[in-house]
Amino acid sequence: MKPAEYHRMREAEEAQWWYVGQRAIAHALLAPSLRSDGVRPSDRRLLDAGCGSGGNLVHLGRMESLRRAEGVDIAREAVTACRARGLTVVQGSLLALPFPDRAFDVVTSFDVLYHAWVPDDEAAVREMCRVLRPGGHILIRVPALKILWGAHDEAVDSRHRYTRTELVRLLEGQGLEVVRSTYTNFFLFPLLLAHRGLDRLLGRTGSDVGFLPAPLEWSFKRALLAEAALVGRGLSLPLGASVLALARR
């Protein structure tokens, strides 16, 4: 990812609508499995693979069912930013994670596998499986649907946008059992589709990361929190701008 993007992420990830809403949805998927996986919270270790500037890692570390949350990222800028926040993070590639086999009970990866610097997503998932104990869980989120490709994808060095079927097959191809999968940003999908269409029509460049006017921030955040409530009740959304899958080794 371009260095300037880490700065934008660091400014936005605590309060911006997309980050807040996506964290709530991820928690709704992951928390029930952690409550029933038979591991004592005092013993559970989590790895955030491709932790970026550390916002997700901070919030994962606050989950009541985790003993320790650690991160890994290939970018020196990301590791520096995380360590400045007091986070335990090492520099390394998803294709060669610097950890022993079966070291973690949970592995998460949020918006990483789609990057141009992850040329082999199967190898990356294979590495995440290697460091995951049997019975442990993997939670992966990636951008969805090629029709939404736009200026933001270029700005963050995207390689691919996935369908739900592609993500499920990617995980199952490494011997994982997919427990749950869902699209997100379902309610806002028509607006996002129109926005990306305008990007292409007007030749707009640059990332989408940043704050909107306060009324839109409030409305968009509420839309994603409503989706989190639905996902928490066991529902899966049929369409959206991102796709998540929770799998068990």
- Average pLDDT of the residues of the chain: 90
User: Does the pLDDT value for residue 76 go beyond 60?
Assistant: yes
108-136 burial: b if 16+ Cβ within 10 Å, else e: bbbbbbbbeebeebeebbebbbbbbbeeb
The DSSP string of 97-148 is -SS-TT-EEEEEEES-TTBTT---HHHHHHHHHHTEEEEEEEEEEEEB-GGG
pLDDT of amino acid 36: 78
User: Does the pLDDT value for residue 2 go beyond 70?
Assistant: no
User: Does the pLDDT value for residue 79 go beyond 90?
Assistant: yes
User: Does the pLDDT value for residue 207 go beyond 80?
Assistant: no
For the chain, the domains span: 3-248
Architecture of domain 3-248: 3-Layer(aba) Sandwich (3.40)
* Between 44 and 178, the higher pLDDT residue: 178
* Between 34 and 113, the higher pLDDT residue: 113
Burial class (CB in 10 A: 0-12, 13-18, 19+), 194: exposed
